[in-house]
Amino acid sequence: MMDYTSTEMMTIAAARALANDDVCFVGIGMPSAACNLARLTHAPDITLIYESGTIGTRPEVLPLSIGDGELCETALTTVAVPEMFRYWLQGGRITVGFLGGAEIDRYGNINSTVIGDYDNPKVRLPGGGGAPEIATSCGQIFVVMKQGKRSFVDKLSFRTSLGHGEGHNSREKLGVTTKGPNMIVTDLCIMRPEPETKEFQVVSIHPGATREEIIEATGWDVQFADKVEETLPPSAHELEALRALNARTAAAHGEQA
């Protein structure tokens, strides 16, 4: 019997993808949890950057938003937002962008704008913020999202952030030189783009999850790599660090967390 949740497995699997020397542009929510867990475990020297201009931040609790004072208080420095985007992001100084979204398609394109028709949507979402620029300017992109047919869709309601476009060399045709989405981590599996088509395929399945669950939770005809591994279960150290972080966050923010 597993002594951890699927959300904990997802967060830990995402954190493992980060290296100690990465400079990482962090999204709020699950991306923030994964990036800070990496910092608290195997990557203590990772540089975390948030959209508000905080560089090298080391928060004790997870921020509620990019404007959370915790980020500025623990940062090495804070710069103006125009400098953050023009010099740091568009200047090619950030190795990894960690994003989430409301919808994602088989090529890693992300929607965080609307669900349904743009002019008369079912749901109006917060919007892109800096995500479109992050998706094209960071060295590579990691995505962390819970998997389900409402979020892993065959066709996006709106393309907020570019992934691999229509597949193959779509990014290059648009003049985008960065690698783009290189990994999707869900509560069921890990996906990576097929080298030629750039369609995301399952490369690792989390303990306890099945191919049938993954197929049922995906809005397109999901493909599996020729060799599919089982994700390494969370270690005691990883679980302890993540649970302590979540406990501090809950104590600091209460119901808002």
| Catalytic residue positions, numbered | 51
| Rounded (10°) angle between helices 30-40 and 236-253 | 120
Q: Compute the distance between CA of residue 38 and CA of residue 175 in angstroms, rounded to an integer.
A: 32
Q: Compute the distance between CA of residue 157 and CA of residue 114 in angstroms, rounded to an integer.
A: 7
Cα 157 to Cα 109, 114, 116, distances in angstroms: 11, 7, 5
- Any residues with CB less than 8 A from the CB of 6 and at least 6 apart, and which? 187, 188, 206, 208, 209
Q: Compute the distance between CA of residue 15 and CA of residue 144 in angstroms, rounded to an integer.
A: 10
- Please tell me the number of Cα atoms within 13 Å of 113 on its side-chain side: 19
Of 4, 232, 18, 7, the residue nearest 138 (C-alpha): 18
φ, ψ of residue 227 to 5 degrees: the values are -120, 110
Of 189, 190, 167, the residue nearest 180 (C-alpha): 167
